[in-house]
Structure 1
Amino acid sequence: MAAHFLGFKSIGIEWDRNACETRYAAGLPTIHADVSVMRETRFDEIPKSVDVLAGGPPCQSFSVAGNGAGREALETVKEFMHRLVDGEDEAEIDKDLHARGVDPRTALVLEPLRWLLKAIDAEDRDPYSVIVLEQVPAVLPLWEVYAKLLRGGEGRLKGVKYEAECWELKTEQFGVPQTRTRAVLVARRPGHGAVEPLEATHLPFVLQRGKRNAAQADLFATDSAVAGTKPRWLSMAEALDAASKLKDSPVDVSRLRTGGDINFFVVSNYGSGGDPKNRGKRRSSEPAFTVTGKISRNKVYKSLAEYESGDSDRFTIPESGVLQTFPHNFPWSGNDQAQQVGNAVPPRLGMHVLSRALRSDSPRADELAAATTWLPVPRTTTDELREIGCGDQSRCPPDEHKVTRARRKSAP
């Protein structure tokens, strides 16, 4: 998405059939495949002109919302990263990963390194010029190891070195109406200058009220902007209101208005402070909670009376997408659309990261403005992309095209 809005062409490799359907509908070239299988047996299908490697390994095992298996395995994964670069046989590494009980999703954090080593070993292509990786903050120690290895160029890297930096970024500081912290790695071959930190465009969101009860009237109070040279963060109400005013927008927030103003509060699906019963609460005048695949379970209340009676609303898929900074009319397709929304990198943040990595600058105002609307894609284009990505379904991930009768009814 970010590459598209910045004018760069890309090709995606995606495991999930539903996400592929959305990408086909959006006109984004995609191969429905396992990234490991693509690297092992189908690497030559990736055009040799591709010189940027970008991705985000699965976050579930590293996320604070998960069981923490990935966080516990950080030291183990660091060890395997060094073993890969030192030249140890990858088949033996895979056996050892399995024997030591490393979650397969956790092990995928090694995959970008394996793709780089594959490109370096290939005789008919150059190493990637730029590498961009994204994950939850718990993975920052692994990105730091990545950066150190890429700067060193030792072992299987065969002298190929990169300028590499990694940071924690807060999405609300880049115009995303949502609090979401991510660890990002940017590495690029020498000759383009040092990788400079990204410049935040907005102030950070700081929750200053402390603990509160949803029945308190201050849920509808409005925080004043913090004095400073940057604008404050963007609120849910501002983002949804702007999206609702765009031409042919599927975002309709009339149900959330009171006297012309958007007023609501959200009760999270997740507990806070270690207590699953202590659901977090956000006002419409604040950024959203981190948008996860469970965003459809968050409860939206227009008034305290609704909260007390249990009469809740939910965000629609287009509204959830807007909170992630997807265009208001993005063609979400397939099933599990809330999961697709939550799994994605917010495109606006992605634009800032890729612009820094590929152009050493920030996205232009006209590029950011254009990213609020998705141009229609002809059905013929969608069908052609599906034929390329899923034409031989035997090469797609196992069982991904086996659908139930109920799912077949809603298939695109």
Structure 2
Amino acid sequence: MRSVELFAGAGGLAMGCEMAGFEHLAVVEWDKWACDTVRENRKRGYPLVADWTLHEGDVRTFDWSSIPEGIDLLAGGPPCQPFSIGGKHQAYDDSRDMFPATVDIIRRLKPKAFIVENVKGLTRAAFANYYQYILLQLEFPELPHRKDEAWDEHFMRLQAEHTSGKRKGRGLTYNVVPTLVNAADYGVPQKRERVFIVGFRDDLGIEWSFPKATHSYDALLHSQYVTGKYWERHGMEMPPIPQKLASRVRKLRDSILPMDTQPWRTVRDAICDLPDPETKAALAISNHVFQGGARSYPGHTGSPYDLPAKTLKAGDHGVPGGENMLVKDDGGVRYFTVRESARVQTFPDGFKFHGSWSETMRQLGNAVPVLLAQCVASSVAEKLILAEMDSVQKEIKKHGKIVA
């Protein structure tokens, strides 16, 4: 299945799509350091990126005529700063808003499906109208913004088209499904809430819903304080049940219903086999270098060992909330190493990051967890394959053979 990756960063979403069976005809990213990371791994022959055609530059200046129409998938995470909680919240007034460029490329390539990922902040009340505007642009990419037309005027025109229903079955339209998800619910050792906007070309007649969550907090608590298997697995004694969790654990203990999800994966689950970065043993692990200077203060605390990590963010020392720090068993704090952060983002150990600690932490903070990307892309791939098989069967039934 052929695909294109926009705003690829260090390649988290692209790698997940690759693992789901998509072959990237182009991987486009403007940031030199992120491109260097991909280039270094490609040079080393790392399997998931070895065959990528990487283009360093702006998606708006790429020669899209080199990509055939009707590819299977277009995927990407437009820059999140216009909508990020930590940004300036300028949305449509922010020059980094790349949603218009994304819609333009969809209009040109007419992919069978697209996957667009962005920050939870996109769904904030302050952006409510612009968020709906984005969804309608993705639904009707053949109704572009007119010259000198204000975005809200274009929004009204798209709303009228949506309610009329006239374009369904005519021209290029997409069935668009937006979903706010927590990566921890899909086996990622990080509480990372993100918006996924998935669309299928209307003419394919595909019905799709976001994959069901596979992991849960209740299952983690059950493993920790009902069966104790979590602590047993890590060779530890079960600690006392925190008072604030006592009631919830009691309900889990008294329930006769079996757990239908797996436990959330924790920081300890993710990094327990890595050596302490302050020891010589850490020198044998790529990107596992101790970074000093971490300190805790009110409002700036790190991630506890026995929960999924806080959301890794694109920063280093100045990250508010201490999201890039780990709370050690003795109560002290230290920064996550790059390798630990990569584990939290579910990048494979064989994938190496290029640049300084602060630069690689920026790449990781901007990345889509590879495991979550694979989960979403696999569900999209399954629907596309089934639709193709159904189309072939119809051709055989109609003509007695496959018509090219």
TM-score normalized by structure 2?
0.61
Give the one of 359, 369, 379 matched to 1:356.
Answer: 379
Task: Say if 1:51 and 1:130, in contact at 8 Å, map to a contact too.
Answer: yes
Residue 179 of structure 1 is matched in structure 2 by 191
Identity %: 25
**Cα distance 1:69–1:233, how it changes in 2: closer, same or farther (>3 A)?**
same
Residue 61 of structure 2 is matched in structure 1 by 37
Are 1:22 and 2:37 matched, yes or no? yes
**Cα distance 1:249–1:187, how it changes in 2: closer, same or farther (>3 A)?**
farther
RMSD, matched Cα: 3.6
Task: Say if 1:162 and 1:188, in contact at 8 Å, map to a contact too.
Answer: yes
SS in 1 for 2:210: coil
Give the one of 211, 217, 221 matched to 1:198.
Answer: 211
The residue type equivalent to 1:103 in the other structure is: D
**Cα distance 1:283–1:221, how it changes in 2: closer, same or farther (>3 A)?**
farther
**Cα distance 1:200–1:301, how it changes in 2: closer, same or farther (>3 A)?**
closer
Question: How far off is 1:229 after superposition?
Answer: 1.3
SS in 2 for 1:357: helix
SS in 2 for 1:319: helix
SS in 1 for 2:103: helix
Question: How far off is 1:138 after superposition?
Answer: 2.5
Residue 182 of structure 2 is matched in structure 1 by 170
Question: How far off is 1:289 after superposition?
Answer: 0.6
Question: How far off is 1:315 after superposition?
Answer: 1.4
**Cα distance 1:267–1:132, how it changes in 2: closer, same or farther (>3 A)?**
farther
Give the one of 364, 369, 372 matched to 1:341.
Answer: 364
Question: How far off is 1:267 after superposition?
Answer: 7.2
Q: Distance in 1 between matches of 2:27 and 2:88?
A: 29
Question: How far off is 1:150 after superposition?
Answer: 4.6
Q: Distance in 2 between matches of 1:9 and 1:296?
A: 37
**Cα distance 1:350–1:240, how it changes in 2: closer, same or farther (>3 A)?**
same
Residue 4 of structure 2 is matched in structure 1 by none
Task: Say if 2:120 and 2:194, in contact at 8 Å, map to a contact too.
Answer: yes
Give the one of 239, 261, 267 matched to 1:230.
Answer: 261
SS in 2 for 1:163: strand
Summarize deviations over 1:231-276 as a string: whole Å, max 9, x none: 12110001112567xxx982799x9xxxxxxxxxx977xx9xxxxx
Question: How far off is 1:57 after superposition?
Answer: 0.9
Question: How far off is 1:103 after superposition?
Answer: 1.4
Q: Distance in 2 between matches of 1:153 and 1:252?
A: 42
1:138-287 aligned within 5 A: 138-140=121-123, 141=128, 142=130, 144-151=132-139, 155=143, 159-190=171-202, 191-204=204-217, 228-241=259-272, 250=285, 277-287=298-308
The residue type equivalent to 2:364 in the other structure is: V
Higher relative contact order (CA 8 A, sep 6+): 1
**Cα distance 1:165–1:49, how it changes in 2: closer, same or farther (>3 A)?**
closer
Give the one of 349, 357, 361 matched to 1:328.
Answer: 349
Residue 87 of structure 1 is matched in structure 2 by none
Residue 46 of structure 1 is matched in structure 2 by 67
The residue type equivalent to 2:308 in the other structure is: P
Gap runs ≥5 in structure 2: 1-14, 43-48, 145-166, 222-238, 253-257, 276-282, 319-323, 385-404
Q: Distance in 2 between matches of 1:19 and 1:231?
A: 33
Q: Distance in 1 between matches of 2:211 and 2:328?
A: 37
Are 1:103 and 2:94 matched, yes or no? yes
Summarize deviations over 1:277-313 as a string: whole Å, max 9, x none: 4224432001101011225663434354x63xxxx43
SS in 1 for 2:81: coil
Identify the range of structure 1 (128-137 vs 278-287) with the bigger mean alpha-carbon deviation.
278-287
**Cα distance 1:204–1:183, how it changes in 2: closer, same or farther (>3 A)?**
farther
